[in-house]
Amino acid sequence: MSTLDPIDVFRIEAGELLEQIEQGLLDLEQRLDDRDQIDSVFRGLHTLKGSGAMFGFDALAAFTHHCETAFDQVRKGLVPATLELVAAVLAARDHMRALVEDANGDYAKQEIALLAQLNAAIDIGARKASPPSQTETVAPPENAGAPPRRWRIRFTLPPNAMINGVNPLTFLDDLRELGPCEIVVDAGGVPPLDQLDPTALYLRWTVVLDADASRSEIEDVFLFVMDDMTLEIDDIRGLSEVAEPPPAPPPAPEAPATPAAQTQAATPEANAATEAKTSTEAKTAAEANGARARRAVESVRVPADRLDELMDRVGELVIAQSRLSQIAAAVANEELRAVSEEIENLSSELRATMMVLRMVPVGTLFERFRRLARDLQHETGKQIELVTEGESTEMDKTVIERLADPLVHIVRNAADHGLEPPEERVAAGKPEVGRITLAARQSGGEVIISVSDDGRGINCERVRAKAEANGLLAPGQTLSEQEALQLIFAPGFSTAAQVTSLSGRGVGMDVVKKTIESLRGAIDVSNRPGKGAEIALRIPLTLAIIDGLLVRVGAGRYVIPLSAVEECLELSPDEDLRSRGRSLLSLRGALVPFLRLREMFQTGAPPASHQKVVVVATGADRIGLVVDQIIGDHQTVIKSMSKLHEDVATFSGATILGDGGVALILDIASLVAAGQDQEARLRAIA
């Protein structure tokens, strides 16, 4: 089995650190005096610098050092945190990401500009923290003239530290920067030459440091290896203690001492003290090892492509299990049926476990838009508040990654076209700050992600005029409001008066539509003129395996996603005749339109004597689907349609049945839309 490239592992961890730094900076921008966020950003920068140096990203380590130094001054109270400093480090963070992705790029001019911006921000902070005027009396600090604190630091790195790129000398250099120190190395753990592993680390260090540094500042030196090492930090101020010399090697074995000699060598009090110390050290070491072991099993990093490969294997297993179930049903063998049922249960549990492994909360996606909203606020000159809801809603990781770009286009569109400038909002009786809301919720087998704003809404007349001007719509052609709103997703369509860095080229919303359709999703647009608009993306919960209801229409078999099924009814021949020309079903006092799939698919076969109606829903809309037979539930492994059929809106994919046949998977969203159109036509005729 191939192992991960350490450089790839570093890039993954660096990406997580950069996300942490960005979120910390955005939080700090709202509360500049938040000490926890200041420490969080500093620790992230410190870890990134150390890890970069360890893996050979020297340019990244050198550049990050400047930002770390700036935040170190903030931590020590030398300069305050300012909006200018946050903006400078955010810009520097983007450059750090470029250095992670391409360490060999030519970024000299860019770095000069970024460092100039960073130094200017520090100067602004320094002026804000300027000392009081000479006429004021400043009380001397309480510890003025007092000697510095004295710390004793003992640390041992893991044996494989140097293999992983850790250089112990860097820690000693960082300690020297805090103040004068005395260093003693303990080489007692080095084995004989014939037993020595040249790649292993056997040394242990004791450092006595004289510096007005806090315990946390000393811990920060070892921050990115803290979990894998042993570290003892003791405050020995006031004690005349120096670094302990390394213990002498154990003497050669001698003849056993007499009882009298043993009594003289060790008193009971000394033995008790030694035993207590040994017990305490063993307990502390055991607790530390236990804590590290617990941390190690909390999570395991697995490449996404391995999860995809595993999902493919589970899909093939489901198909094989379906074949086995079909054979077991046809053979009168109780043992075979028992084995088939057991394998069916196991494959179902394995599928459920696999689905959970691939699910991640959409909050990981929503966090990225805090930075986007901040940048849009500066670009547009508008005041924007981003609100997120339903962050705990989970989706397939693959789906979330593909939703990032469409949501960026929608949010940018809402900021540029939807929200009004502050003065226009005030004139309309609205608050100056415009609100963009990112929300997610689960509805059956779909996740609905919506982007709404409280702006001016969509001007349908302007959309129509622009569509006619671009030749997308014939003059005078009749359109419903929803059809007019869907025009904003047409290729090349834009209502912007001029091209800007945000919009005007007519490509953004077209990208949204293509991406959502490739995910077998749908887009709903709702509009409230003068109050705002909402774009909702309805996305399948997963793209791999679903529970389905297998039905027969004519000679063909089809799969209806079980999550969309509400109930199944029988359509008698009398009801079938009465509903001709209307296709409406009375269901508990409500009229539900239904589609005869036999006619829709033009099977050419006569209807079954006892037709069934499967009532399906998406969101608040529902229709009935008339089928000839309901075969039963079916674990459906979704296969993509061929190039020739990918534009057929009625089907979202296909699956392989247990007998080797192929069944098409019905696209419920498009069928519901077809049912609504049919109902609208019937109501117009009536």
- Going by C-alpha positions, the residue among 572, 600, 584, 580 that lies closest to residue 666 is 600
- Going by C-alpha positions, the residue among 308, 305, 319, 344 that lies closest to residue 637 is 319
Task: Please name the residue that has the structure tokens 């004068």.
Answer: 180
For the segment 214-271, what is each residue's pLDDT rounded down to a tens digit?
888 888 788 767 777 899 998 887 654 444 444 444 444 444 444 444 444 444 444 4
Q: β-pairing, 384-389 with 434-443? A: parallel
What residues contact 401, with CB distance under 8 A and at least 6 apart?
none
Dihedral sign computed on CA atoms, order 105, 106, 111, 113: negative
For the segment 146-186, what is each residue's pLDDT rounded down to a tens digit?
567 889 999 999 888 887 777 888 888 888 888 888 999 99
Mean pLDDT, the chain, rounded, equals 79
Task: At 363, list the tokens.
Answer: 């909050």
Report the pLDDT value the prediction gives residue 384, as an integer from 0 to 100: 92
- How many CB atoms lie under 10 A from the CB of residue 506? 18
- Going by C-alpha positions, the residue among 551, 586, 572 that lies closest to residue 663 is 551
Question: What is the distance between the alpha carbons of residues 328 and 408, in angstroms, rounded to a whole number?
Answer: 51
* DSSP string of 344-372, one letter each residue: HHHHHHHHHHHHHHHEEETHHHHTHHHHH
Question: What is the distance between the alpha carbons of residues 553 and 606, in angstroms, rounded to a whole number?
Answer: 10
DSSP annotation of 323: H
Whether the pLDDT of residue 678 is over 90: the answer is: no
The CATH number fitting domain 6-128, selected from 2.60.40.1080, 1.20.120.160, 3.40.980.10, 1.10.630.10: 1.20.120.160
Residue span(s) of the chain under CATH 1.20.120.160 come to 6-128
For the segment 385-413, what is each residue's pLDDT rounded down to a tens digit?
999 999 988 888 878 888 888 899 899 98
Q: What is the dihedral of CA 281, 287, 290, 294, to 10 degrees?
A: -150
Report the pLDDT value the prediction gives residue 378, as an integer from 0 to 100: 87
Report the pLDDT value the prediction gives residue 497, as an integer from 0 to 100: 52
Residue span(s) of the chain under CATH 3.30.70.2730 come to 150-235
Confidence of residue 92 (pLDDT cuts 50, 70, 90): very high
- Give the residue, 356 or 447, on which the prediction is more confident: 447
Topology of the domain comprising 362-540: Heat Shock Protein 90 (3.30.565)
What residues contact 396, with CB distance under 8 A and at least 6 apart?
355, 358, 359, 541, 542, 543, 544
Q: In the chain, pLDDT over 70 holds for what percent of residues?
A: 81
Whether the pLDDT of residue 285 is over 60: the answer is: no
Tell me how far CA of residue 431 lies from CA of 262, 353, 423, 527, in angstroms: 87, 47, 10, 20
153 within 8 A of 231, measured Cβ to Cβ = yes
Confidence of residue 475 (pLDDT cuts 50, 70, 90): confident
- Going by C-alpha positions, the residue among 37, 31, 60 that lies closest to residue 48 is 60
* DSSP string of 487-529, one letter each residue: GGGSTT----SS--SSS-SS-HHHHHHHHHHHTT-EEEEEEET
Report the pLDDT value the prediction gives residue 154, as an integer from 0 to 100: 93
Tell me the average pLDDT across 620-637. 83
Q: H helices within 83-188, ranges in order?
A: 83-101, 108-128, 168-178
Report the pLDDT value the prediction gives residue 636, as an integer from 0 to 100: 79
Whether the pLDDT of residue 465 is over 80: the answer is: yes
Question: What is the distance between the alpha carbons of residues 55 and 566, in angstroms, rounded to a whole number?
Answer: 56
- How many CB atoms lie under 10 A from the CB of residue 599? 12
626 within 8 A of 520, measured Cβ to Cβ = no
Residue span(s) of the chain under CATH 2.30.30.40 come to 545-685
Most confident of 121-135, 166-180, 372-386: 372-386
- Give the residue, 644 or 460, on which the prediction is more confident: 460
Confidence of residue 206 (pLDDT cuts 50, 70, 90): very high
Q: H helices within 152-303, ranges in order?
A: 168-178, 215-221, 259-265, 268-298
Residue 318 backbone class (left: φ over 0; alpha: ψ -120 to 50; beta: rest): alpha
Topology of the domain comprising 304-360: Helix Hairpins (1.10.287)
Tell me the average pLDDT across 26-37. 89
Task: At 310, list the tokens.
Answer: 């595993």
Whether the pLDDT of residue 275 is over 50: the answer is: no
Most confident of 207-221, 564-578, 658-672: 207-221
- Going by C-alpha positions, the residue among 118, 22, 21, 17 that lies closest to residue 70 is 118
For the segment 303-347, what is each residue's pLDDT rounded down to a tens digit?
777 887 888 888 888 888 888 888 888 888 889 989 989 998 898
Question: What is the distance between the alpha carbons of residues 202 and 609, in angstroms, rounded to a whole number?
Answer: 84
Report the pLDDT value the prediction gives residue 293, as an integer from 0 to 100: 41
Tell me the average pLDDT across 261-289. 45
Task: At 122, list the tokens.
Answer: 């520090």
- Give the residue, 617 or 83, on which the prediction is more confident: 83
Report the pLDDT value the prediction gives residue 670, as an integer from 0 to 100: 77
Whether the pLDDT of residue 107 is over 70: the answer is: yes
For the segment 483-520, what is each residue's pLDDT rounded down to a tens digit?
778 888 877 666 655 545 555 444 568 788 888 877 87
Residue span(s) of the chain under CATH 1.10.287 come to 304-360
Tell me how far CA of residue 375 lies from CA of 21, 412, 423, in angstroms: 16, 10, 20
Report the pLDDT value the prediction gives residue 281, as an integer from 0 to 100: 45
Question: What is the distance between the alpha carbons of residues 637 and 444, in angstroms, rounded to a whole number?
Answer: 18
Report the pLDDT value the prediction gives residue 144, as an integer from 0 to 100: 47
For the segment 573-614, what is each residue's pLDDT rounded down to a tens digit?
777 777 665 677 777 878 888 888 888 888 878 878 788 899
Residue 166 backbone class (left: φ over 0; alpha: ψ -120 to 50; beta: rest): beta
79 within 8 A of 129, measured Cβ to Cβ = yes
DSSP annotation of 418: I
- Going by C-alpha positions, the residue among 617, 591, 628 that lies closest to residue 673 is 617
Task: At 234, list the tokens.
Answer: 């003791």
Whether the pLDDT of residue 106 is over 50: the answer is: yes
394 within 8 A of 361, measured Cβ to Cβ = yes
Report the pLDDT value the prediction gives residue 264, as an integer from 0 to 100: 43
Q: Any idea what the Cα angle at residue 153 is, between residues 151 and 159, rounded to 5°?
A: 170
The CATH number fitting domain 150-235, selected from 3.30.70.2730, 3.30.470.20, 2.60.40.1240, 3.40.50.620: 3.30.70.2730
Residue 70 backbone class (left: φ over 0; alpha: ψ -120 to 50; beta: rest): alpha
Q: For 545-685, which CATH superfamily applies?
A: SH3 Domains (2.30.30.40)
First to last CA, the chain: 68
3-state secondary structure of 569: strand
- Give the residue, 630 or 268, on which the prediction is more confident: 630
Helix (H) or strand (E) holding 598: helix 597-600
